[in-house]
Amino acid sequence: MDIEKSPGNREDAPTAPPLLPPAAPRWVKTFGIVALVLVLLFVVMHLMGRGLSGHMGHSGVTTHGEQP
């Protein structure tokens, strides 16, 4: 089959490379949203709840020979 080459399908026509990078895949977007929600949840829990007291080690333990 002899097809006349148009400017659009000429073999010697330079193929223009894409100028913009491809968009992020769906799994990356989903992952980002889930991560953002978890980070916000973590921050809100620490701000509204117990603060960071658990990291500071308020000891409620009474050891032998020690006053509470």
Partner 1 sequence: MAPGLRKFVLTAHVTSSVGWLGAVAGFLALAVAGLTSHDAPMMRAAYLAMDRLTWLVIVPMNFASLLTGLLQSLGTTWGLFRHYWVLVKLLLTIPATILLLVHTQPMGYMARAAAATTTLSGADLHEARVQLVVASSAALLVLFVATTLSVYKPRGMTPYGWRKGRG
Which CB contacts under 8 angstroms, 24+ apart, belong to 23-31? none
**In the complex with partner 1, which residue's Cβ is closer, 7 or 18?**
18
Q: Which of residues 3-62 bind partner 1 (CB under 8 A)?
A: 17, 21-22, 24-25, 27-28, 31, 50, 53-62
**In the complex with partner 1, which residue's Cβ is closer, 13 or 39?**
39
Whole-angstrom Cα distance, residue 39 to residue 27?
Answer: 18
Instruction: Return the structure tokens found at 67.
Output: 């006053």
Please compute Rg for the chain using Cα positions: 31
Which residues of the shown chain bind partner 1 in the complex (CB under 8 A)?
17, 21-22, 24-25, 27-28, 31, 50, 53-64, 66
